[in-house]
């Protein structure tokens, strides 16, 4: 068991070093990057598309799409709206890591990007443990998933900068206790910045867009 612990530690240490290199490269090109995590079906790609549509037009975007299988469904949706996108096939792994993201970054022209959106693999466990070199971590939780997710998957909520509560247009039809959900999140991450939105209708996106726009422009000095 001790040997296994040492091996795991070496893997994580190596990932941290690569993440630092990614961060340095992004900073050199003044690119602000966010890591978007969620469970499958929470609406990550639709959220990204709505974000792209509502951001100021002078902000230049790039997208990295992570998937466990060699399919380009999500990246095709991104490129269809005119955004540069790189697809990562993790080969079955349940998360992106710094090496994968570093290789994807090298495929992008960072001088033509202000904001990089990284869509992690749909999973509420694995992605929390691997730094990528990005500047902010967000989790998307959707109303249909239920209000118990902070209690079942606490680690994913602990070290994030923003929580998106998605699919609020379904609230009238689903028994989702918002106060109970927010209580669970608050215990793990007090004062966490939270935005309740509908990626389908665009409801609630204005405060999120304002926050993101300010972060990008502040990062550029």
Q: Look up the CATH superfamily of 2-219.
A: P-loop containing nucleotide triphosphate hydrolases (3.40.50.300)
For the chain, strand residue ranges (E) read: 32-38, 61-67, 85-89, 115-119, 136-142, 162-166, 193-196
Mean pLDDT of 209-218: 97
Distance CA 147, CA 41 (A): 15
- pLDDT at 1 > cutoff 50: no
Instruction: List pLDDT tens digits, range 54-76.
Output: 999 999 999 999 987 655 656 67
Q: Which residues are paired to 161 by β-bridges?
A: none
Can you give the residue ranges of every domain in the chain?
A: 2-219
Q: Which whole-number Å values give the CA distances from 197 to 29, 138, 154, 194, in the listed order?
A: 31, 14, 22, 10
């Amino acid at each position: 068991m001790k040997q296994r612990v040492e091996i795991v530690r070496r893997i994580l240490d190596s990932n941290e070093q690569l993440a630092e290199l990614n961060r340095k490269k992004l900073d050199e090109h003044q690119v602000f990057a966010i890591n978007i995590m969620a469970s499958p079906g929470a609406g990550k790609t639709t959220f990204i598309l709505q974000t792209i549509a509502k951001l100021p037009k002078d902000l230049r975007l790039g997208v990295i799409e992570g998937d466990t299988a060699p399919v380009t469904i999500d990246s095709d949706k991104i490129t269809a709206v005119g955004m540069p996108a790189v697809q990562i096939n993790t080969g079955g792994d349940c998360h992106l890591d710094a090496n994968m993201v570093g290789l994807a970054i090298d495929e992008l022209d960072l001088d033509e990007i202000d904001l990089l959106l990284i869509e992690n693999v749909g999973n509420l466990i694995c992605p929390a443990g691997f730094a990528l070199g990005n500047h902010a971590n967000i989790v998307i939780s959707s109303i249909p998933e239920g209000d118990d997710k902070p209690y079942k998957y606490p680690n994913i909520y602990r070290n994030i900068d923003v929580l998106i509560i998605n699919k609020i247009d379904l609230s009238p039809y689903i028994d989702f206790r918002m106060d109970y959900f927010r209580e669970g999140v608050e215990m793990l991450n007090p004062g966490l910045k939270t935005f309740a939105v509908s990626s389908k209708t665009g409801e609630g996106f204005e405060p999120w867009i304002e926050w993101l726009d300010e972060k990008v422009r502040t990062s550029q000095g």
